[in-house]
Structure 1
């Protein structure tokens, strides 16, 4: 604050009146100066108090400060839409809607920054506006600015060391996700009606899921990328964020240039059970919500179930080159991991091809995470690039065969290992490994996918994704519009229910039933074995062997979450149960929790140093963690 200027007719003393007392050595200060000293002290005290209060509030909020625009924008401007046609012609379909775009979309006479000041410094203003942006303006929408993104579209957290990390409006303690963090935040905060970003390895879908909004990755190549800076041309698509399903549907139809017809009624849902094993959320909040929503609608078939990892392993033969040696049980998850590896190799190869020369000549200043990714890209030396693209073609053909023209594949959007603000690098990498396992299915195949918010679980956003064959974008958007209200209603009901145990059956048991379970297990009748062990547990829930045996059957069925839960119970009953540690380690490895799995195998070796299975698994995981 500044003090009011005093009247010139009666000016205050500008200097202290000082006289020294010879006997005491003191200074005497005039009364007017004392007043000013007191005022100064008072103002300083008020400032200190205000700052202390602000810091306390900031600490209570986890060190987060809410900015007016949540830090979403790099620059603000206004691009007005085309004039409305005179009556009786219909209004533009996107009239009165506002939108923003990531810092990778060209706007005429503005320099596109690509999330990095050095890129912006070394490039000229765009000579024309990106085709998709012009299309939206033509159909009545207003563009209000460009948003923050991960540098060069290379990150998944949404952080940017130059422009700041946008604040997640839904859960401020959570990263907004990237690379299109600013666009997702602008939509989630209600600053715009919808926004554009680009999706490479999952950028739009991750941000949408973490911010609790819709995120649409169209089929690869279906929307124009003219005037869009590309990180990886064969993976990247223009993506759309929206809070409301109706807005997503309108914008999608405009960009797809789709005719507005009644929804196609025949639909077939295929649930990827193995992918939901990676999501530590009760099925009653995901798969059960979907199943009940389907039952409440006409024209929908009962959902089918598939182990998508096993299906890909069997139908994408070129992927075998990139899979690690594994057992039949590990075959599915190994295929998904190999798929994500291939996706990242393609991204690195294409970025190096298109931007490697600029990187080497400019040597841009980058955040530490982006710097390591960029280094991996420019040093990429994979020679057999044709095999990478062959996998892509085989995967698209396999998914087209699975889904056909009426199928919708259902997967979790991201795993539940949520990105907290200031997460350790190791936790971020763990999240990325698990997330890419799910995101690579659409990313590599080029199929269309929409992330759909389903409320929250334990205070964090929850979402699932619908995926359709390449080119079936209109069908997918129509499906979501048709059933979203039913999904919302079932999600609301599920949130109000008490969690129920996720077990097969509710039967009786005995020691004899354990022996029956063992016999069924030896006969490879896994479901029957689970039933017998469940009966045994119902009768006697203090026997570690029953839980441990059921865990073995669950492992054979690919039910890794249930296997881990049974091993937890067995270990709580018997701390020296080596089989329980071995089976829990196997379950955790299949769920991609490598660190925890390694700890289980190490402890099994402590209990039984000569155990070959534990020793082999521990060495394998040590190599993976390295």
Structure 2
């Protein structure tokens, strides 16, 4: 851990909870280093303490040290050229992530209870920190909350839904009150339809790809605004001091100081429209659920760099909250393939306390579901373009196979004969039936019910459900693939049935011949 000595404390509300603060927060008498020794060398000690730190101290918190951040806030891996890389307690072989890596490590290693910015050992502590920092007016509402899952973002992950989406959905279902049934959306399509000024930043794309194009454009606007604001504040210092920076940070700083602000007004218009669109989606009681990271972190001290594909996904997830100014909280969800995973919750701008309380209410139930999910022997995620019928066919003729596999996003448990058991499919059908009673145009429900029926070999009814989905969304990729797959399956089954019928008729004919032969023999010998 990157740790600096020095502490101040007062008895009070937070009961002398210990914390550390990032070195971008000013503390009277100390220099805020901003993750770079040249910055620290060229700046004076602070004449006052940052308001956030002061508020915590007033409530009885103890500041036991300061943590070093990624240089100038531009890092994303947690590596720092000058101070090294703190060890990730959850997974020592990989980087801790940035730019608050020191603070995250201090909390994860249980050296402190909380850290600025905004990291805590559990939601109870985070809620207490929120009570100290947030004004009473920011408490939000206590109405029934609704989780809104960004399905298209989760589809970009190589992690089974059973360890992400299902954990949260199942946790909410176990709660006796306080949450409405979850909602599922394509956030990329929503952005495309509700942020009109974003079109000038979108790359040309097909109708099917416009959601991904909108997400990429949103992250482009966020990065351009970051460069503009960094340049406005720090260009003179960079040009005068010429600081020594890490390679990737140096590249980002150079992009910022060379930024031209010809289009700056359009950037701020997009930000305003996106904040309004997200507020309209979530209202006062909605919480958007999306992945925190785009994949597995880099190995510690690796020479490998983040791929452009990884960065595009990562910044797309980050930009949803960062560009809108909405509040975001991240909750760990255990591990997958020996890598830590987490999920993020986003609430409307100004709804910080509402979000903290919602997470506090569901946290225990989430922890129970994480334990259950960890006991599932999950296979790798199957590519959505693979012909599921071939995978099913392969499984049906393997004896003594008890391992689970995926159909779409559903786990299926096989019995010892390789045949399907009756796991969650009846319940899935019932849930979808209920959803369709409420909304006859619920495409997601038709897709899920169709998948459930296909999984128990009810191909004809499954095909009907997928065709219902296509009637509502003619270009739905999942439904188109399913229709093609099921038509192929049904035609193959019809062909097999004809062959089987022919074989049965032939066998019956042979049996008749044998009977006639026996009868003639009996007549010949006078037995009849």
* TM-score category, normalised to shorter length: 0.7 to 0.9
Q: CA deviation at 1:490?
A: 1.2
**Which of 137, 147, 157 is 2:67 aligned to?**
147
**Which of 95, 115, 128 is 1:175 aligned to?**
95
Change over 3 Å in CA distance of 1:520–1:154 after alignment to 2: same
Change over 3 Å in CA distance of 1:140–1:521 after alignment to 2: closer
Q: Following the alignment from structure 1 to structure 2, what is the Cα–Cα distance between the partners of residues 466 and 190?
A: 23
Q: Following the alignment from structure 1 to structure 2, what is the Cα–Cα distance between the partners of residues 472 and 251?
A: 15
SS at match of 2:248: helix
Instruction: Give deviations 1:267-298, integer Å, cap 9, x for gaps.
Output: 11111111111111111111111111111112
SS at match of 1:358: helix
Q: Following the alignment from structure 2 to structure 1, what is the Cα–Cα distance between the partners of residues 318 and 40?
A: 30
User: Residues 376-387 of structure 1 correspond to what in structure 2 (within 5 A)?
Assistant: 376-387=255-266
**Which of 144, 153, 172 is 1:275 aligned to?**
153
Task: Tell me the residue number matched to 2:116.
Answer: 196
Aligned partners of 1:418 and 1:431 also within 8 Å: no
Provide the aligned length of Structure 1 versus Structure 2: 420
Q: Following the alignment from structure 1 to structure 2, what is the Cα–Cα distance between the partners of residues 277 and 416?
A: 12
**Which of 228, 232, 247 is 2:125 aligned to?**
247
SS at match of 2:7: strand
Q: CA deviation at 1:368?
A: 1.1
SS at match of 2:330: strand
Task: Tell me the residue number matched to 2:78.
Answer: 158
Change over 3 Å in CA distance of 1:433–1:260 after alignment to 2: closer
Contiguous gaps of at least 5 residues in structure 1: 1-70, 85-91, 198-239, 542-626
Aligned partners of 1:100 and 1:194 also within 8 Å: yes
Q: Following the alignment from structure 1 to structure 2, what is the Cα–Cα distance between the partners of residues 98 and 274?
A: 39
Instruction: Give deviations 1:153-196, integer Å, cap 9, x for gaps.
Output: 11111111111111111101111111111011111111111001
**Which of 354, 370, 387 is 1:475 aligned to?**
354
Instruction: Give deviations 1:80-114, integer Å, cap 9, x for gaps.
Output: x22x4xxxxxxx22113111011111111111111
Aligned partners of 1:112 and 1:125 also within 8 Å: yes
Shifted more, 263-272 versus 328-337: the winner is 263-272
Instruction: Give deviations 1:555-603, integer Å, cap 9, x for gaps.
Output: xxxxxxxxxxxxxxxxxxxxxxxxxxxxxxxxxxxxxxxxxxxxxxxxx
Aligned partners of 2:140 and 2:352 also within 8 Å: no
SS at match of 1:76: coil
**Which of 401, 410, 421 is 2:300 aligned to?**
421
Task: Tell me the residue number matched to 1:100.
Answer: 20
Change over 3 Å in CA distance of 1:519–1:260 after alignment to 2: closer
Q: Following the alignment from structure 2 to structure 1, what is the Cα–Cα distance between the partners of residues 73 and 211?
A: 30
1:395 aligns with 2:249: no
Q: Following the alignment from structure 1 to structure 2, what is the Cα–Cα distance between the partners of residues 525 and 122?
A: 58
**Which of 280, 283, 287 is 1:408 aligned to?**
287
Q: CA deviation at 1:422?
A: 3.3
Q: Following the alignment from structure 1 to structure 2, what is the Cα–Cα distance between the partners of residues 518 and 95?
A: 57
Q: CA deviation at 1:382?
A: 3.4
Q: CA deviation at 1:531?
A: 4.4
User: Residues 312-327 of structure 1 correspond to what in structure 2 (within 5 A)?
Assistant: 312-327=191-206
Contiguous gaps of at least 5 residues in structure 2: 379-404, 409-450, 493-528
Instruction: Give deviations 1:91-142, integer Å, cap 9, x for gaps.
Output: x221131110111111111111111111111111111111111111110000
Q: CA deviation at 1:511?
A: 12
1:505 aligns with 2:434: no
Q: Following the alignment from structure 1 to structure 2, what is the Cα–Cα distance between the partners of residues 480 and 381?
A: 41
Task: Tell me the residue number matched to 1:446.
Answer: 325
Q: CA deviation at 1:357?
A: 0.3
Aligned partners of 1:410 and 1:465 also within 8 Å: yes
Q: Following the alignment from structure 2 to structure 1, what is the Cα–Cα distance between the partners of residues 86 and 78?
A: 7
SS at match of 2:267: helix
Change over 3 Å in CA distance of 1:135–1:505 after alignment to 2: same
Q: CA deviation at 1:434?
A: 1.4
Aligned partners of 1:111 and 1:125 also within 8 Å: yes
Q: Following the alignment from structure 1 to structure 2, what is the Cα–Cα distance between the partners of residues 129 and 436?
A: 32
Q: CA deviation at 1:420?
A: 2.0
Task: Tell me the residue number matched to 1:109.
Answer: 29
Change over 3 Å in CA distance of 1:266–1:535 after alignment to 2: same
User: Residues 121-140 of structure 1 correspond to what in structure 2 (within 5 A)?
Assistant: 121-140=41-60
Aligned partners of 1:150 and 1:160 also within 8 Å: yes
CA RMSD of aligned residues (A): 2.9
Change over 3 Å in CA distance of 1:302–1:364 after alignment to 2: same
